[in-house]
Structure 1
Amino acid sequence: MFVPLSQLILKSTKFYKYFIIQTMSTNSKIYSKVAVCQMTATNNKEKNLEIIKKLVKNSSEFEAKVVFLPEACDYIATDITEARSLAESLNGPLLAEYKNLAKQYKLWLSIGGFHERLDETIYNSHILIDDCGEIKSIYRKIHLFDVTIPEKNIFLKESDLNTGGSQICLPINTPVGKLALSTCYDLRFPEQSILQTKMGAEILSYPSAFTKVTGEAHWEVLLRARAIENQCYVVAAAQYGKHNIKRVSFGQSMIVDPWGKILAACEKYTGGEEANESVAVAEINKDVLVKIRQEMPVFKHRRNDIYSLNLLREETNQIDDNETFHFADKVIPGSTVFCRSRYSYAFTNLRCVVPGHVLVSTLRVANKLMDLTKEEIEDLFQTTVRVQRTVEQEYKANSSTVTVQDGPFAGQTIPHVHVHILPRKQGDFQRNDDVYLQLAKHDRDDNPSPLRSGEEMAEEARRLRKYFL
């Protein structure tokens, strides 16, 4: 049953208010709660952060396991120049604050839209942080909102600021289920959500800053449609109201169940200058999801003999030197990557224990092997064998040390699953097992061995790529 709107829980201060709509389960079994947040971001990053801290604290009080923030929760600038100047890298102070929030309240945090700076490139990045403050996934928005409708006073070209992403991320195992990351305009492209559901998604997320005009026309119907056609929960955190003289957002953050029923929602924007910071809370009931999928098995009824929808780059080795890859919170230049599979990639090493020492990592940021899906594990080690064969051929070796340091007490210094491959030759170490001592200290700051240049690493990658064409 729902809490009636007449019983809406309201907390007010002079500057700040929350609306919390909480659904109640129909029996004594407790399911995992999620909180969807709504705010009116401005170009004041410090003020936006203070609002987010209050929203997260309030969500924690309602025992939410995962908290969802809207697109552009870091800021909404007044113009392109200001937007560029405010963007930060993943190593910047703002993301550090978000990580600390997740750790402080022991909950997962969906940063629905973060202006991620990589050199001169800016991405609209949806970042998922776990309750230990670690980044679990980074999705860079692939569909950019370049729309002009003069009669409706819509003149927006997202590509003036942001570069589009190139990858649909695998759903992530969270305390409330397998979560798929998307952002705002992606909502209008059902192919993306269908692919995510085929990958195992149980919850689709659409942090947004829908305009008032498009929100009034399409917001609710699109969210409910994505929930119904994919038989997934949909969680959509939204920006609300007047951000500046140019930008107005529709609001109505909501949580929808797999039958298309709205479980909880925040206010719609109807006009005025007042900001709105609010939280809607609902429970994710996996039994409901399973029951709906069993009673109406639409994915089993799809006619794959007539039509099919698949990722185009699943098994290719297409690598763009200008592309970047994530290695925990570090950025790996595409120029140093020489092999790419559906779920993994291989790249050259900054400091090698032996010539040809390379790494194979998962495309998705995951801390340990146990965090990977069955498909990711299979792909990671199949790719490892291919790369091992290649480096042995290139470096004229017939043996390799292949090792995974799975966790910090096993020597892992980068919290992202990766495999070390070291082509071995007779006599390369006085004692054969000394390789492990050297591996343990090869990336420490006090290691006197010189770091390789980017060009040296890129040249090695170019030589190795020829084996994967």
Structure 2
Amino acid sequence: MIVIKFTKECMRNICCSLVSKRMSSTSKCKVAVCQFTATNDKSENLTTVQNLVSDAVREKARMVFLPEASDYMASDKNESKSLSESLDGPLMKAYKEIAAQNKIWLSIGGFHEKIDDNTIYNSHIIIDDVGEIKTIYRKVHLFDVTIPEKKIFLRESDINVSGSQILPPIDTPAGALGLAICYDLRFPELSTLQTKLGANILTYPSAFTSSTGRAHWEVLLRARAIENQCYVIAAAQYGRHNKKRVSYGHAMIVDPWGNIKAECPKYSEEMETNQSIAFAEIDCEYMNKIRQEMPVQQHRRNDLYNLSMVLSKKKHIDDNDIFSFADKKILGSTVFYRSDYCYAFTNIRCVVPGHVLIATLRSAPRLVDLTQEEIADLFQTAVAVQRIMEMEHNTVSSTICVQDGHFAGQTVPHVHVHILPRKKGDFERNDDVYTHLANHDKEENLQPVRPLEEMCKEACKLRKYLN
């Protein structure tokens, strides 16, 4: 259950449409992991999904995890291409309606996302409890494997195009999810990066073959949980889909110590049902206890080895985006720059004209909590924004400040950089800027908030520099 509290300051921000919220959630969240036997009948598969979601609702789960190929399992590549749909199609619309009507989050573990006749992605899609798509992960590792003695002849690349991006974790009622699909499970680098970026749950919706499932499924899932000290949720396809394909099943939830907390049956020809659901609580306090008792992440030898993501270029900003800033929400219309790890936005109260902020996309209270990639990206962005603000305000100097911790003057517990373009005589004494900065957002010294229209107009103007 999520409880929302509003302070006086939050109410002021809401009035100016920054929609500040103070949210505190319980540390435990019940989730459901599912398996079923998808076929090439999309309507029948959808009915199965509806039934599983109904079961989850009765058990008061907050989120349902569905397997790879939840939409369909085709008998050949031509059929698969013909059955694929865009995200604007009727099947995705139906998934959204299921989520909204049942007020539950859905992990659509594998959807054949059609972009055009030549481009289909295997996409893991998260839908929230009002029926909105929150994020889309496109599978980066495609299963192209031929093992004649085990009768495995699979080339996923004959149908799908590989994705090109590792996504940061997505916040959900259960926690921060790191998204992956099936074959991604065999690449521990992906899970390590997701954990560095703040994931406390790793997800592997899958359609493991019967033979590879018997050999590797459980041991790989438990290994990912143990080495990352994360929960692992792995929905699965199960049973005989057609003459060519049998899936292993054994959907499960593994805790950060490697214990299986919930599981569905392994494939057996004797099983009478082709769908199963299991439940477990995600307990963030338990995960944090394990990480504190054995601080594996802190013991990594970054001086000897390091794993980093390939940075992409500046991201598109949608005015309807909402960015987190500790317990506050920042409207996309006030954001003028976004990278892989941070974003820059206009300020609700300015110490000097042109005073803007840069915050990390992931909520982290202090610099020491950031990864090397996040730190590098944050300060590269700070330099770029500094140049922009100096050009815009015709200055040749700036104060660049990080208040790192409460006793350093930090009032918002989320890493952020202040950029203040400086002019001669803007303060009686030059270092008075730090006093003003420390006091400008304290309750007893609150200045009137800037009109939202003014902040949006400034952001729009600053975007032009970056374009």
Short-chain TM bin: 0.5 to 0.7
RMSD: 3.8
SS at match of 1:136: strand
- How far has the Cα of 1:388 moved from its partner? 11
- How far has the Cα of 1:391 moved from its partner? 12
Deviations 1:95-140 (A, max 9, x none): 1111111111111110000000112310000001111111111100
Point out 4+ residue stretches in structure 1 off by more than 3 angstroms. 272-275, 316-319, 325-330, 343-346, 369-393, 396-399
Corresponding position of 2:254: 256
- How far has the Cα of 1:383 moved from its partner? 5.7
Structure 1 residues 318 and 175 mapped into 2: Cα distance closer, same or farther (>3 Å)? closer
Structure 2: how far apart are the matches of 1:173 and 1:308?
25
Structure 1: how far apart are the matches of 2:269 and 2:319?
42
Structure 1 residues 191 and 372 mapped into 2: Cα distance closer, same or farther (>3 Å)? closer
SS at match of 2:70: coil
- How far has the Cα of 1:343 moved from its partner? 3.9
Deviations 1:180-234 (A, max 9, x none): 1110000000000011001111111100000000000000000000000000010
Structure 1: how far apart are the matches of 2:202 and 2:340?
21
Code of the residue aligned with 1:140 in structure 2: it is R
Corresponding position of 2:339: 341
Of 206, 223, 245, the match for 1:225: 223
Structure 1 residues 379 and 102 mapped into 2: Cα distance closer, same or farther (>3 Å)? farther
SS at match of 2:166: coil
Corresponding position of 1:43: 40
Structure 2: how far apart are the matches of 1:68 and 1:207?
8
Structure 1 residues 49 and 148 mapped into 2: Cα distance closer, same or farther (>3 Å)? same
Corresponding position of 1:458: none
* C-alpha contact (below 8 Å) 1:183/1:207 kept by paired residues: yes
Matched, 1:300 2:290: no
Number of paired residues? 346
Corresponding position of 1:55: 52
* C-alpha contact (below 8 Å) 2:250/2:265 kept by paired residues: yes
SS at match of 1:234: strand
Structure 2: how far apart are the matches of 1:329 and 1:145?
36
Corresponding position of 2:313: 317
Identity %: 59
Code of the residue aligned with 2:127 in structure 1: it is I
Corresponding position of 1:22: none
Deviations 1:53-84 (A, max 9, x none): 00001011111111100000000111111111
Structure 2: how far apart are the matches of 1:98 and 1:185?
24
Code of the residue aligned with 2:249 in structure 1: it is G
* C-alpha contact (below 8 Å) 1:241/1:275 kept by paired residues: no
Code of the residue aligned with 2:221 in structure 1: it is L
Structure 2: how far apart are the matches of 1:282 and 1:207?
16
Q: Which runs of 5+ in 2 are unaligned?
A: 1-25, 322-336, 345-357, 365-369, 396-451, 458-462
Structure 2: how far apart are the matches of 1:377 and 1:397?
27
Deviations 1:270-296 (A, max 9, x none): 236855111000011112111111111
Corresponding position of 1:373: 363
Q: Which runs of 5+ in 1 are unaligned?
A: 1-28, 320-324, 331-338, 347-361, 363-368, 400-434, 441-460
Corresponding position of 2:75: 78
Structure 1 residues 76 and 115 mapped into 2: Cα distance closer, same or farther (>3 Å)? same
Matched, 1:202 2:200: yes
Structure 1 residues 203 and 343 mapped into 2: Cα distance closer, same or farther (>3 Å)? same
Of 161, 175, 194, the match for 1:163: 161
Structure 2: how far apart are the matches of 1:378 and 1:95?
38
Code of the residue aligned with 2:363 in structure 1: it is T
Structure 2: how far apart are the matches of 1:191 and 1:48?
33
Structure 1 residues 146 and 340 mapped into 2: Cα distance closer, same or farther (>3 Å)? farther
Structure 1 residues 52 and 370 mapped into 2: Cα distance closer, same or farther (>3 Å)? farther
Corresponding position of 1:145: 143
SS at match of 1:282: strand
Corresponding position of 1:429: none
* C-alpha contact (below 8 Å) 2:29/2:281 kept by paired residues: yes
SS at match of 1:64: coil
Code of the residue aligned with 1:187 in structure 2: it is L
* C-alpha contact (below 8 Å) 2:314/2:340 kept by paired residues: no
After superposition, residues 124-139 of structure 1 pair within 5 angstroms as 124-139=122-137
Structure 1 residues 142 and 391 mapped into 2: Cα distance closer, same or farther (>3 Å)? farther
Code of the residue aligned with 2:308 in structure 1: it is N
Deviations 1:366-422 (A, max 9, x none): xxx9996358999799869958977999xx9989xxxxxxxxxxxxxxxxxxxxxxx
Deviations 1:321-371 (A, max 9, x none): xxxx896999xxxxxxxx98324799xxxxxxxxxxxxxxx9xxxxxx999
- How far has the Cα of 1:304 moved from its partner? 1.1
Structure 1 residues 327 and 384 mapped into 2: Cα distance closer, same or farther (>3 Å)? farther
Code of the residue aligned with 1:99 in structure 2: it is K
Matched, 1:122 2:115: no
Of 182, 198, 201, the match for 1:184: 182
